[in-house]
């Protein structure tokens, strides 16, 4: 009898080694304030602060950056936040936290406190014209889409709706250099968002080369290091959590890659072609736990995944981690 119990225990432990974490959708997670019937036109990003608050950027002049608690209840709007924060992150520096974001329309980088005070502003004029795209009028312009901050304070941003160059500034906003672009060896086609991939030493950049359906790695100095994963569904956003790169794909899926670049899990997959990759999927077609157009993504400390959709009404998913 004892031998049977021991054998069963060993078998259970062996199977547990191969079990994978899974994520379960939490329905009706977000609770709007009384004066709103929708989140708002979303074409932005999402991030979690150290106390678990969830920040969501929205195309609303009066509520451009909304804050919700871990329980989903609306807490406040960040004062003075712009309505065109396309990509942003929250970084802790000492005992304080700051929002680093790029304005897709305003063409500038902002560093703000969580209370909405701007402490650093980097205008588009700080980027040399040679790394910008020229409009029909012959004037150079930028359409900044994503940003992150390295451990030494250097700020990296991508001009994903224009030249596909990455621009690097130091912590005081001094321009350092640019790299990337549409030509070899990079060959980017909408380098939509990027983050510093802290899973490696030294850290590197992981970029969402959206129209090429691939995820790429670069060194912080700008060397193209190779393709992490190809054949994705318009990868648009990424968050690093532990050994995972959690990626939102604009054509209706979330893919979690491990440190080797292999697919660890996939969440929220949508096979309805008329629902994915568009910001006009109506609420009547929304299905619980099924994404339509992930545009921003993040995790809390527990590994729960939050997905901000590209949607004129505004939609935020929460997938709770079920530990193995």
Cα angle, residue 27 at apex, residues 74 and 307 outer, rounded to 5°: 70
In a domain, 2, yes or no: no
Q: pTM for the full model?
A: 0.94
% the chain with pLDDT above 90: 93
Phi and psi, residue 323, nearest 5°: -70, 145
Average pLDDT estimate for 219-225: 98
Whether the predicted pLDDT of 225 surpasses 50:
yes
What is the pLDDT at residue 323? 76
In a domain, 91, yes or no: yes
Half-sphere exposure of 15 (CA within 13 A, CB side): 6
% the chain with pLDDT above 70: 94
Phi and psi, residue 260, nearest 5°: -80, -10
Average pLDDT estimate for 285-300: 98
In a domain, 253, yes or no: yes
In a domain, 157, yes or no: yes
In a domain, 10, yes or no: no
Q: How are the residues of the chain apportioned to helix, strand and coil, as percentages rounded to the nearest 5?
A: 10, 45, 45
- Looking at every residue in the chain, the average pLDDT score rounds to 94
Average pLDDT estimate for 175-201: 98
Which range of residues forms the domain containing residue 57?
A: 21-322
Are the beta carbons of 267 and 20 closer than 8 angstroms? no
In a domain, 223, yes or no: yes
Residues whose CB falls within 8 Å of the CB of residue 5, separated by 6 or more in sequence, listed in order: none
Are the beta carbons of 237 and 225 closer than 8 angstroms? no
Average pLDDT estimate for 93-106: 97
pLDDT digits (tens, 9 = 90+) for 62-77: 999 999 999 999 999 9
Whether the predicted pLDDT of 4 surpasses 60:
no
In a domain, 6, yes or no: no
How far is residue 239 CA from its own chain's centroid?
6
In a domain, 278, yes or no: yes
What is the pLDDT at residue 20? 74
What is the pLDDT at residue 324? 63
**Domains: count for the chain:** 1
pLDDT band, residue 255 (cuts 50/70/90)? very high
What is the pLDDT at residue 19? 52
Residues whose CB falls within 8 Å of the CB of residue 317, separated by 6 or more in sequence, listed in order: 25, 29, 268, 289, 291, 305, 306, 307, 309
What is the pLDDT at residue 61? 95
- CATH number, residue 243: 2.120.10.30
């Amino acid at each position: 009898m004892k031998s049977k119990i021991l054998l069963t225990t060993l078998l259970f432990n062996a199977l547990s080694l191969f079990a994978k974490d899974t994520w379960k959708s939490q329905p009706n997670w977000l609770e709007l304030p009384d004066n709103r019937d929708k989140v708002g036109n979303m074409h932005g990003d999402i991030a979690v602060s150290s106390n678990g608050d969830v920040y969501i950027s929205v195309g609303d002049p009066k509520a451009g950056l909304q804050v919700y608690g871990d329980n989903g209840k609306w807490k406040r709007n960040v004062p003075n936040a712009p309505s065109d924060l396309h990509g942003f992150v929250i970084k802790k520096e000492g005992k304080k936290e700051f929002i680093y974001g790029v304005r897709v329309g305003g063409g500038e980088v902002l560093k703000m406190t969580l209370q909405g005070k701007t402490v650093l502003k980097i205008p588009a004029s700080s980027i040399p014209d040679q790394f910008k795209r020229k409009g029909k009028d012959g004037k150079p312009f930028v359409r900044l889409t994503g940003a992150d901050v390295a451990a030494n304070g250097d700020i990296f941003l991508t001009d994903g709706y224009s030249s596909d160059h990455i621009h690097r500034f130091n912590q005081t906003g001094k321009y350092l250099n640019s790299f990337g672009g549409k030509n070899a060896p990079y060959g980017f086609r909408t380098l939509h968002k990027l983050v510093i991939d802290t899973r490696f030493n030294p850290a590197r950049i992981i970029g969402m080369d959206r129209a090429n359906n691939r995820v790429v790695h670069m060194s912080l100095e700008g060397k193209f290091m190779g393709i992490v994963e190809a054949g994705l569904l318009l990868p648009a956003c990424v968050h690093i959590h532990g050994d995972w790169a959690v990626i939102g794909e604009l054509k209706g899926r979330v893919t979690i890659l491990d440190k080797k670049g292999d697919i660890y899990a996939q969440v929220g997959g949508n096979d309805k072609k008329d629902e994915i990759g568009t910001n006009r999927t109506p609420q009547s077609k929304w299905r619980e736990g099924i994404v339509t157009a992930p545009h921003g993504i993040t995790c809390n400390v527990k590994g729960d995944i939050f997905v901000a959709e590209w949607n004129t009404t505004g939609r935020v998913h929460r997938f709770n981690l079920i530990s193995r």
